A and B are shown apart, each in its own frame.
Chain A
Amino acid sequence: MTEVLFWFMALFTIASALMVVLNNQLLYSAIALLFTLFGIAGLYIYLWADFIAGVQLLVYIGGINVLIIFGIMLTNRIASVRLSQTNLQQGVGGVFAFWVFLLISLVISKTPWYQLPAVEPSGTVREVGTLLMTKYLLPFEAASILLLGALIGAAILSREAN
């Protein structure tokens, strides 16, 4: 059952991702992105990463995706004009992207991955929190400063030019 669910989720994710890049309606793309992110959160659950999955839902779906939808609303006359959403190099780009996928897959299948067995933890939140406050305190603080900088930068950029 879980096996089936997993493959369903994987295909659902990839299909949504394709929708994101192929759909002509920008808003539909954004909604498809939402599904993709949701699917990825599901994959995280399969990988025992409960905390990351939660963050994925909160930040990506609740934050970033909503932001993107806002952006679309602010900049597009959605219903009025329908333009081609893709540029002239669609064919070449497709071929290239496909090649990239093929080559990465080749690498993945040829590499003998070194793996360690592990038991399922009862939850990762505690450990992740400890790591963030000890070993990764500096990156954590750096990330918060980055966020602050981005916040101020975005505010300055989107201000009315005067």
Chain B
Amino acid sequence: MENIFIKYSLLILFLPLAAFVIQIFFGKRLPRQGDWVSIGAISTTLVLAITMFVAMIMKDDPDFYQEASFTWLDMGDFEIRLGFLVDNITVIMLLVVALISTCTHVFSTQYLKGDIRYSRYFAYLGLFTFSMNGIVLANNLMSMYMFWELVGVSSYLLIGHWFEKDSAANASKKAFLTNRVGDIGFFIGIMLIYNAIGSFAFSDIFDGVSSGLIAGSTLTLAGIGLFMGAMGKSSQFPLHIWLPDAMEGPTPVSALMHAATMVAAGVYLSVRIFPILTPDALLVVAYVGGFTALFAASIAITQTDIKKVLAYSTVSQLGYMILAVGTGVYTAAFFHLLTHAMFKANLFYGSGSVIHSMHHALHEKHDHETDPQDMHNMGGFKDRMPITYWSMLFSTLAIAGVPLFSGFLSKDAILAGTLSFAQHHPAHFLLPVFGFAAAAMTAFYMFRMMFLTFHGKPKMPDIIDDIHESPKEMTGPLILLGTLSLFIWYTLPYFNPMSTHGWFTDLVVPSDSVVPGNPSAQQIEEGAHHAHHLAMYISIAVAVLGIFLSWFTYIKKGLSAQAWTDRFGFLYDWSFNKYYFDENYDKYIYQPSFRLAERVAWIDWELYDRYFINGFGRLTNWASKVTGKFDFDVIDQFIVDGTGRMAALFGRKLKTIQTGKLQNYVLYVTAGIIILMVIQSF
């Protein structure tokens, strides 16, 4: 029982890699293009993860911690050790990854049926799961960074799965490059810490910080550097631009990576490094998170593409988690990560199911013009796709923060922490305002999406008859994850829809920050506890307000969305165009870079190449002619050929003593011995 954790973790890590290797080399030749290999490997990891999870629950030890490491590089004083760390957070995270990954694999068998790169798709899913598990299991920043980059690569490959489409190819590039910006900060942070402490392992870093090896502004800078990595992966403002574009990838991929796991890696990193973040760094984290939460929610309100709504919703929810880390309630952030992974993945599966169905219906009508993802083409799907509808409704209620659902608990914990933070630091009253405003907007836009998609009259009546419920490979994950949106799974063994108290709070207890000057975990917890009730009432109020407004606008038609759009045209334009972020990045960052690059290229071509390089070229040309002559006449004719002729001459002479008679050779040997002995004697 003691050692299953490390062993199982290794299996969980490497099984998907094995699936990847098999799929990439033999996938096409296997029956069913080998999807069963991947599904087998991933569901095995799910079983192992569940076993570990159950073992963890049985253990019921908040301080459970196991580590195993080995020396990777040993160069005298410079030694890099890599290893694994298993604690309660790891086990929960492994379960999340394994569960969502399994669902995605199963879902994809239908969603990508008949795709030309079917086996390669499953291979990449395996690679992604491997690298994600690597991040989760890392006990040091170095291996985390490696797996971090691997996740980036697999994300690039999967977003660009349909790379024939320009938009998909560009989106994958955009995702990769935007992540690189954050990763540079991450790397700088790692190097700052390694320089001061001389180790990459989390435990060493915590010890080093608490003993003051690195402190003050350096530590703040290092913390912000590491957080920049999290900003890139978790798509925080201003690096959020890649996530909505990443929706070009297949929808199950969006559910796995861009809702539940990969984007959660940034939050996971923030949770892991929370103890070394200084108050200043935490403030940066909180503001980035809070602002992202509100900002992304305001964009989601006006989007018409069902996946784009979910994408911005994800950015907003990730902002929540980051906000929670910044205000100190980082276990609440992790709790929200867990609940959000379930319901947001489910929402993506639901949207995938709708899109799949739309796609087939349009295909029946030979309509290739209409966008199957545009909510303005949907409506009235409720009775046609009941399972999808109910499952998505559960998740929507969860994300909107309605009591009895999981999102309520985690969101409430975050908002309580934020409120308590503002009570202690009144100057930062904006943080809870961000949080509650985002909560109201979330409730509004999520129900807008539901109403536009499933309720009302069909906007394309001619295809409604062809809309069917998806096959059971797709509804299975929907039912499973829809059920997991209920609060009860997260508070067991207690049954209190208003309190987060349960196995999670028993097993994941916050630890103290190791930076002097930060409030202790206990202080933060008490503050959050005091703010809990107030936060709960406000959060229920804003959720109800959001849902009501949504209902009033889109069902009751008491408010005309069109009229509001006209009245606040510029706001609508801003929101609809995502605040012109892409355009402004293009205008102020990309274009100047291009111009600079062109200028530099001009210098390179016109000055450097023409005069410097070409001058050298001419000089070399002349010199080579001279040396060529020398080479031919002197070296070749005299030395090389001369040597050859000499060798041939001696060869002809010496050939005569090669008689082939054994005894001649013995004679020569004897003569040699005599000569040697004579030389030696004198």
Verify B663–A99 contact, CB threshold 8 A.
no
Which of chain A's residues have a CB closer than 8 A to the CB of B667? Answer: 89, 92-93, 96
Which of chain B's residues have a CB closer than 8 A to the CB of A107? Answer: 677, 681
Per-residue interface assignment for chain B, residues 663 to 682, with 1 indicating a CB less than 8 Å from any chain A CB and 0 otherwise: 11001001101100110010
> Closest Cβ of chain A: how far from B672's Cβ, in Å?
10
- CA–CA, A103 and B670, complex, Å: 12
- CA–CA, A65 and B681, complex, Å: 37
Partner of A96, one of B664, B671, B678, B681: B671
Interface residues of A in 78-124 (CB under 8 A from B): 87, 89, 92-93, 96-97, 99-100, 103, 106-107
> Closest Cβ of chain A: how far from B567's Cβ, in Å?
102
Verify B678–A97 contact, CB threshold 8 A.
no
Partner of A103, one of B663, B671, B674: B674
By size class, the interface of chain A is 10 to 19
> Closest Cβ of chain B: how far from A14's Cβ, in Å?
20
Verify A97–B663 contact, CB threshold 8 A.
no
Query: Which residue in chain A gives the minimum CB-CB distance to B673?
Result: A100
- CA–CA, A52 and B88, complex, Å: 79
- CA–CA, A87 and B662, complex, Å: 12
Verify B674–A106 contact, CB threshold 8 A.
no
Verify B664–A103 contact, CB threshold 8 A.
no
Query: Which residue in chain B gives the minimum CB-CB distance to A96?
Result: B670
Q: Tell me whether chain B's interface is mostly helix, strand or loop, or mixed.
A: helix
Which of chain A's residues have a CB closer than 8 A to the CB of B664? Answer: 89
- CA–CA, A128 and B519, complex, Å: 86
Residue of A92, A93, A99 ringed by the most chain B CB atoms within 10 A: A99
Verify A96–B674 contact, CB threshold 8 A.
yes
Which of chain A's residues have a CB closer than 8 A to the CB of B677? Answer: 100, 103, 107
Verify A89–B670 contact, CB threshold 8 A.
no
> Closest Cβ of chain B: how far from A72's Cβ, in Å?
19
Verify A99–B674 contact, CB threshold 8 A.
yes
By size class, the interface of chain B is 10 to 19
Which of chain B's residues have a CB closer than 8 A to the CB of A92? Answer: 667
Verify A89–B678 contact, CB threshold 8 A.
no
Query: Which residue in chain A gives the minimum CB-CB distance to B669?
Result: A96
- CA–CA, A162 and B681, complex, Å: 55
- CA–CA, A95 and B150, complex, Å: 80
Interface residues of A in 54-92 (CB under 8 A from B): 87, 89, 92
> Closest Cβ of chain B: how far from A100's Cβ, in Å?
6
Which of chain B's residues have a CB closer than 8 A to the CB of A97? Answer: 670
> Closest Cβ of chain B: how far from A2's Cβ, in Å?
34
- CA–CA, A77 and B66, complex, Å: 89
Query: Which residue in chain A gives the minimum CB-CB distance to B674?
Result: A99
Verify A89–B663 contact, CB threshold 8 A.
yes
> Closest Cβ of chain A: how far from B671's Cβ, in Å?
6
> Closest Cβ of chain A: how far from B16's Cβ, in Å?
51
- CA–CA, A100 and B673, complex, Å: 8
> Closest Cβ of chain A: how far from B170's Cβ, in Å?
72
Query: Which residue in chain A gives the minimum CB-CB distance to B671?
Result: A96
Residue of A89, A93, A96, A97 ringed by the most chain B CB atoms within 10 A: A96
Residue of B663, B673, B677 ringed by the most chain A CB atoms within 10 A: B677
Which of chain A's residues have a CB closer than 8 A to the CB of B670? Answer: 93, 96-97, 100
Verify A100–B674 contact, CB threshold 8 A.
yes
Which of chain B's residues have a CB closer than 8 A to the CB of A93? Answer: 663, 667, 670
Which of chain B's residues have a CB closer than 8 A to the CB of A106? Answer: 681
Which of chain A's residues have a CB closer than 8 A to the CB of B663? Answer: 87, 89, 93
> Closest Cβ of chain A: how far from B668's Cβ, in Å?
10
> Closest Cβ of chain B: how far from A47's Cβ, in Å?
26
> Closest Cβ of chain B: how far from A108's Cβ, in Å?
12
- CA–CA, A46 and B194, complex, Å: 80
> Closest Cβ of chain A: how far from B540's Cβ, in Å?
88
> Closest Cβ of chain A: how far from B665's Cβ, in Å?
11
- CA–CA, A92 and B671, complex, Å: 10
Which of chain A's residues have a CB closer than 8 A to the CB of B673? Answer: 100
Which of chain A's residues have a CB closer than 8 A to the CB of B671? Answer: 96
> Closest Cβ of chain A: how far from B659's Cβ, in Å?
10
- CA–CA, A97 and B673, complex, Å: 11
- CA–CA, A15 and B345, complex, Å: 105
> Closest Cβ of chain A: how far from B666's Cβ, in Å?
9
Interface residues of B in 38-59 (CB under 8 A from A): none
> Closest Cβ of chain A: how far from B5's Cβ, in Å?
49
- CA–CA, A131 and B241, complex, Å: 85
- CA–CA, A7 and B574, complex, Å: 124
> Closest Cβ of chain A: how far from B473's Cβ, in Å?
66
- CA–CA, A103 and B679, complex, Å: 11
- CA–CA, A138 and B664, complex, Å: 38
Which of chain B's residues have a CB closer than 8 A to the CB of A103? Answer: 674, 677-678, 681
Residue of B664, B671, B674 ringed by the most chain A CB atoms within 10 A: B674
> Closest Cβ of chain B: how far from A43's Cβ, in Å?
25
- CA–CA, A96 and B669, complex, Å: 10
> Closest Cβ of chain B: how far from A1's Cβ, in Å?
38
- CA–CA, A99 and B670, complex, Å: 10
- CA–CA, A100 and B681, complex, Å: 13
Query: Which residue in chain A gives the minimum CB-CB distance to B666?
Result: A93
- CA–CA, A6 and B664, complex, Å: 37
11 contacts between A and B (CB under 8 A): A87-B663, A89-B663, A89-B664, A92-B667, A93-B670, A96-B671, A99-B674, A103-B674, A103-B681, A107-B677, A107-B681
Q: Lowest 7 CB-CB distances: which A-B pairs, in order?
A: A103-B677, A96-B670, A99-B674, A89-B667, A100-B674, A93-B667, A106-B681
Beyond A92-B667, A100-B670, list 16 extra A-B contacts (CB 8 Å).
A89-B663, A89-B664, A89-B667, A93-B667, A93-B670, A96-B667, A96-B671, A97-B670, A100-B673, A103-B674, A103-B677, A103-B678, A103-B681, A106-B681, A107-B677, A107-B681
